[in-house]
Structure 1
Amino acid sequence: MLSEEELSLLEAIRTTGSLSRAAARLGKAPSTVSHAARQLETRFDALLFDRRGYRLRLTPAGQLLADDAARLMQDVDRLTRRVRQVASGWEDRFWIVTDEVIEFELLLPVIRAFDALDSGVTLRVTHEVLGGTWEALRDGRADLVIGATNEPPAIAHLRWLELGAMDWVFAVSPRHPLARERAPLSRERIAAHRAVVVADSSRMTLGRAYGLLGGQAVLAAPTMHAKILAQREGLGVGWLPRHRIASLLERGALVEMKTADPREPNTLYAAWRGDQDGRAQQWWIEQMKQPRLAKRIVRGIDAFG
């Protein structure tokens, strides 16, 4: 590892091309700089400086040493900052997993506020679906989950809070055959048509899909947005969050159909592990407890408005 003084010497010689000018930049006598340069060559047992000609240049070996040493010093500086960061109670990184029903745009103001703390914590935001959201917390792939549905499972040290309830609409395209049938729709009539689902992302179980009837044909979409688009195009039917399709219902691009078996609203949860107590986790939990943010998360954004 090179010292900061040795790095400065290499950089001064590289940019000035002269021992005297390098010495002037470093505020040292030319003889001192020349001696330091030869000591560096002795240390590495390599010719680092090309002293031929008018200009003094780094040899390829010297250039390699200067470049790699500078990168190493930057890495050491970053590591020093991270160690101080963790020692002061901040996590090195913080991983947030949202359920697919939550739009990423809703978190942007919160992320901006977190950035203003200048904590140095690296944020990572990913999403899962249904059981995959809880599973991410259980398996250590999340420090905080937002928008998880169903009752909290048995997870060691699990802590949670309710964000609110999300309403669902059974919606079909006006061109879909079900749109012409008399409501309320029975399970048998619905099962005769293909359902569009966002597949459960659980890695350890078979997963599940809301509103899917036995024997019903399925189109598995990659995201909730894709599911909405597929149903708007008449490629299938299913339950959709009311807040995300309000404008499509208003314009008639989707039609709300009453069913014989209505779907109850889903309670959305924020959850974390109580055996972790970093400052980033504490800050994000406090944000989730804010009624205005919780209400915004549950009501969401109508991306089609």
Structure 2
Amino acid sequence: MHISAQVLKVIITIARCGSFAAAAEELHKVPTALSYTVHKLESELELKLFERLGKQLELTEAGHYFIKKGQMILSELDELQFATQRIASGVETRLNITLNNIISLRPLYTLLAESERHFPHTEIHIAIDVHDGVWDALLDKRADIAIGAPNQVALPGEICCLEMATVEWLFAIAPDHPLTALTRPLRADDLRRYPAICIQDTSVKLEPKVAWQLRGQKAIVAPDYPAKIAMHLNGLGIGFLPSHLCQHFIDDGRLVRLMVEESKQPTPLFLAWQQRSPRPCYSWWLQQLKLPEVQQGFYTTLC
């Protein structure tokens, strides 16, 4: 016998009612029809779902398992129908968002909670990219929305962008680093002797870039900004840091800001997105990410 949703509902009702007569009354069927359904299913499965105690029925151990799994399957079938109907009406199954590694995830936590309430059937996938890897993810359609894409690049017509803010860079190193003994602005020859702490560009199709490294200078490649900052704090190398990430280390003396002859220029950051027909979750996220109070939250600590 094929175990259909209807058969599951019949067996679950019989188990709940405890007799064919009571279940037949609820299902508007005759008791013999329900008895036949149970007998045929038990024969096909070669096991007993119910013990007959006169006119009463009691589940066997196998019957308890069957009912438990059957209820789960019916629930999944109901969810399948509901979710499919919502998707057919335009609700997305997945939204991909990438962030520049120099901005904080903190504003996303509130947005994720709200998104789950509004769009429970849409999976939100969040990635972190470095340098032009943010643009690369968008252009290669690995991301639907990019937050903090640096330095506007040449964009095809299907990509839209909006400037968010500009990041200032500070040359900040450990207070016991040898370079702190120099009282003048630092020249390239001064800096080249010490490793540049870098984070590798995540671009796949665009030409990868190096944020800052002098010709002939050794690099230490860090996996992310928390690691890069920790390396600066431990005097392992030198380089520029976003002001919003390092200023409090400078204020409490754990890092020292030095002047260099060739400073790293400020970096404008953009909110960018794939231009497409309106979709509920996608449109909602874009609307939230354009809010000034949300954008301001990206320029805090990284956690």
Q: Same fold (TM over 0.5)?
A: yes
Matches within 5 A, 1:1-305: 2-12=3-13, 30-41=31-42, 45-49=44-48, 56-57=58-59, 70-118=71-119, 120-155=121-156, 157-204=158-205, 207-297=208-298, 300-302=299-301
Query: Residues 64-106 of structure 1, C-alpha deviation per residue, up to 9 Å, x if partnerless?
Result: 8656655544443333222222233321111111111111112
Gaps of 5+ in 2: none
Q: Aligned with 2:81: secondary structure?
A: helix
Query: Residues 203-243 of structure 1, C-alpha deviation per residue, up to 9 Å, x if partnerless?
Result: 23562221111111111111111111111111111111111
Query: Residues 239-263 of structure 1, C-alpha deviation per residue, up to 9 Å, x if partnerless?
Result: 1111112211101101111110111
Q: Aligned with 2:45: secondary structure?
A: coil
Go from structure 1 to structure 2 and tell me whether the alpha carbon gap of 1:284 and 1:52 turns closer, same or farther (over 3 Å shift). closer
**Alpha-carbon shift at residue 198 of structure 1 (Å):** 1.4
**Alpha-carbon shift at residue 194 of structure 1 (Å):** 0.6
State the alpha-carbon separation in 2 of the partners of residues 254 and 266 from structure 1. 22
Q: Which moved more, 1:10-19 or 1:253-262?
A: 10-19
State the alpha-carbon separation in 1 of the partners of residues 74 and 184 from structure 2. 70
Query: Residues 126-159 of structure 1, C-alpha deviation per residue, up to 9 Å, x if partnerless?
Result: 1111122111112221111101112234445111
Q: Aligned with 1:245: secondary structure?
A: helix
State the alpha-carbon separation in 2 of the partners of residues 63 and 132 from structure 1. 54
User: Normalized against structure 1, the TM-score is what?
Assistant: 0.84
The AA in structure 2 aligned to 1:210 is A
Q: Aligned with 1:285: secondary structure?
A: helix
State the alpha-carbon separation in 2 of the partners of residues 64 and 7 from structure 1. 12
The AA in structure 2 aligned to 1:191 is R
Kept in 1: contact 2:12–2:71 (CA 8 A) = no
Kept in 2: contact 1:13–1:56 (CA 8 A) = no
The AA in structure 2 aligned to 1:277 is P
Q: Aligned with 1:219: secondary structure?
A: strand
State the alpha-carbon separation in 2 of the partners of residues 26 and 176 from structure 1. 82
The AA in structure 2 aligned to 1:141 is R
State the alpha-carbon separation in 1 of the partners of residues 291 and 70 from structure 2. 48
Kept in 2: contact 1:48–1:59 (CA 8 A) = no
State the alpha-carbon separation in 2 of the partners of residues 222 and 150 from structure 1. 22
Kept in 2: contact 1:100–1:224 (CA 8 A) = yes
